Amino acid sequence: MFNKIKFATGLMVIVVMTAAMFGLSLKSRNINRDQALNNLAPSRSSEVVMSTTVAKERFNYGPDTNPVSEEQGYDDDLFAALASGSVSDTQDLAALDSFDFGTVRDVKIDGNRVLLATAGGVIEFYPEDSSFLLYSSRQGLTDHDCYALTVDDGEIYVGTSNGVYYIDECGEVAPIWREIADTVTVIKSIDSRFYVGTKFSGLFVSNWDTIDQLLPAKSVVDVTKNAFGLWVLTADAGLLNYQGDGWKRRYLKNDSTALAAANCLNTAFHQPWLGTQRGAYFFNGGIWTLIDSSKGLFDQNVTTIAKGKTFVYLGTAKGGVFSYYDGALSPLDWSEGLEVTALDVQNGAYLVGLQRGGAIFKPAKGESYNILDIIRKTGAIFTGI
């Protein structure tokens, strides 16, 4: 691995006083075999059982319910730091408007930075002082139309319209796993392995140096893994599950299409969760439980699911973010009306990718704000200097 101190400095000119300068320390930053899809017979079906343990149904937007870790150390005066921040450079700022960085497909909170996979490339943003880096065509991300990303040991893996790129700790960008020449819809690091789902070529798994194809010729939407095995959501074969004895399609006995027309998949508290246009399902090993409008989910189109310290979070197409715990559902007031495409929750902070308009960051302490708006605002300070 390469190590390099990555930097971005900010400068503000004051008419009477001398110029002040501060800096942020940052990093400058083969298909071996095929396993045929076999045994695709339906597994034991399960009935939907509506939860009877709802503590309270809340149909109005309520308070932020995510517990904040006592170790969380966000600056109480965050906006003072934001107002004085720095930019990568003026060319990067211009690229912000020449490429579609406002369409966000995937997001990740990683320590003191947040990462956005967008239609224009990758944005690396530091909330502490609003410094940022862009990775797009000019930085070597030739296929800059990005759909998914993950982080492993500080290094970024991003899925694009034509394969996977690797951004190392020095900020060097290079394509990897060239065998995957397809639109990458999802990339996740699970149990020290990378699972890469594609639009037409199925699901791949990487053991660093090699790539194996686990599920060929399928359109993969999402992937997760838990005690019930490997789960893969596909656009053409519905929800599939693998427990070592072949792939099996999972469905409801009373509605064979309910789990098939889904948007997203995740694991929270050892349970697989599925977001659909009719609400969110979770599986406890025997039954699938549905969370819908009868539970207070007034936007049933669940587009993304994230796990917090105690709560499960549901991002919706037009209704913002909802928190769920032990049968109780509550919408988060600061997210009202957001068109959520991606969501990550870490240590009391929220990162919400939007269908258009960028991404909303809600720190553990402080008000929520749009990352693209902050970048443009702080960048304007340096115009003409």
Quick check: 296 pLDDT over 80? yes
Inside any domain, residue 1: no
For the chain, the domain total comes to 1
375 pLDDT higher than 60: yes
19 vs 193, residue with greater confidence: 193
Per the structure, the complete domain to which residue 309 belongs is given by 7-380
pLDDT of the residue at 379: 57
Domain membership of residue 357 (yes or no) is: yes
Inter-residue contact 215 to 232 (CB < 8 Å): yes
Q: Of 357, 366, 308, which is closest to residue 337 (Cα–Cα)?
A: 357
Which helix (H) or strand (E) segment holds residue 6: the answer is: none
Residue 210's pLDDT band (boundaries 50, 70, 90)?
confident
Q: What percent of the chain has pLDDT over 70?
A: 75
Higher pLDDT, 130 or 45: 130
| Residue tagged 């960028």 (tokens) | 358
- Over residues 245-266, the mean pLDDT reads 90
HSE of 185, CA atoms in CB hemisphere, 13 A = 21
**Residue 217 located in a structural domain:** yes
Residue at 107 is within a domain: yes
Per-residue pLDDT tens digits for 26-42: 333 333 333 333 333 33
Q: Indicate the burial class of 275 (C-beta count within 10 angstroms; 0-12, 13-18, 19 or more).
A: buried
Q: How far is CA 237 from CA 213, 233, 234, 253, in A?
A: 17, 8, 6, 16
Q: pLDDT value at position 69? A: 41
CATH code of 156's domain: 2.130.10.10
- Give per-residue pLDDT as tens, 140-183: 999 999 999 999 999 999 999 999 999 998 899 999 999 999 99
Within-domain flag for 385: no
In the prediction, which pLDDT does 89 show? Answer: 61
Give the tokens for residue 41.
């017979």
159 neighbors 186 (Cβ within 8 angstroms)? yes
pLDDT at 349: 97
Rounded to whole angstroms, how far apart are CA atoms 132 and 263?
Answer: 30
Which is higher by pLDDT, 255 or 382?
Answer: 255
Least trusted range by pLDDT, from 47-51, 252-256, 364-368: 47-51
Task: Look at residue 376 in the predicted model and tell me its pLDDT.
Answer: 85
Opening angle at CA 108, ends 198 and 191, nearest 5:
65
- Residue 41 falls inside a structural domain: yes
pTM for the structure as a whole: 0.79
* pLDDT higher at 161 or 77: 161
Higher per-residue pLDDT: 318 or 255: 318
The percentage of the chain sitting over the pLDDT mark of 90, rounded to a whole number, equals 65
pLDDT classification of 57: cutoffs 50, 70, 90: very low
With beta carbons less than 8 A apart as the criterion, state whether 351 and 343 touch.
yes
Residue 2 forms part of a structural domain:
no
